[in-house]
Amino acid sequence: MALREIRTYPDEILNKISKPVTEMKPRFSELIDDMLETMYSSGGVGLAAVQVGVLRRIVVIDVSPEADSPMVLINPEIIEMDGTQTGDEGCLSVPGKHGIVTRAMTCKVKCLNRDMEEVILEGEGLLARCFQHEIDHLDGKMYVDKVEGELENVYQEDFDEEDLED
């Protein structure tokens, strides 16, 4: 495993649309391992392949407090959303910033797992927010375009472990 460089806004690759994965090649498996390592070492709760410069529809997420429950989503598609939540959001590709974004409160996703088996994942609250944020990345969309009000700076003294940095 290796750390990969995180592309940061306004790198134009972040606005590109990622391609589906049709078979689990060794280089994608290695990419997934690297994405997990990169996400954990950056203290994030989610990372899309485009954020490390690979235009493939692969997302890794871990919203567990112990950071020990990795999820791998390949070719994810949102199939159901319900309710709304308004809260703070950040992104490893926009370091030092955060802003308020309204998202669906619950979100159901159809995707493939690492073994390329179809699975349905259901999220609520932070996990639902994360699904929506990461799947937006696969379509070249950034949360900064959805922020209500101003994008704000994160100050070290305000740092809260619950701040979402995905």
When the beta carbons of 25 and 43 are compared against Zn ion, the nearer one is 43
- The alpha carbon dihedral of 5, 6, 7, 8 has a sign of negative
Query: Is residue 130 within the footprint of Zn ion (CB under 5 A)?
Result: no
Query: Is residue 147 within the footprint of Zn ion (CB under 5 A)?
Result: no
User: Reading across the β-sheet that carries 97-103, which strands appear in turn?
Assistant: 85-89, 97-103, 148-153
Tokens (6 digits) for 37: 């390592």
> Please, what is the minimum distance in Å from the beta carbon of residue 116 to Zn ion?
25
Query: Is residue 91 within the footprint of Zn ion (CB under 5 A)?
Result: yes
- Cα separation, 93 vs 4, in Å, equals 13
The residue from 77, 117, 124, 134 that is catalytic is 134
Active site residue 157: no
When the beta carbons of 91 and 112 are compared against Zn ion, the nearer one is 91
- Cα separation, 150 vs 94, in Å, equals 14
Query: By the 8 A CB rule, do 57 and 49 touch?
Result: yes
Stretch that binds Zn ion, among 25-33, 58-66, 83-91, 148-156 (CB under 5 A): 83-91
| Residues designated catalytic | 134
- Interface positions with Zn ion (CB under 5 A): 91
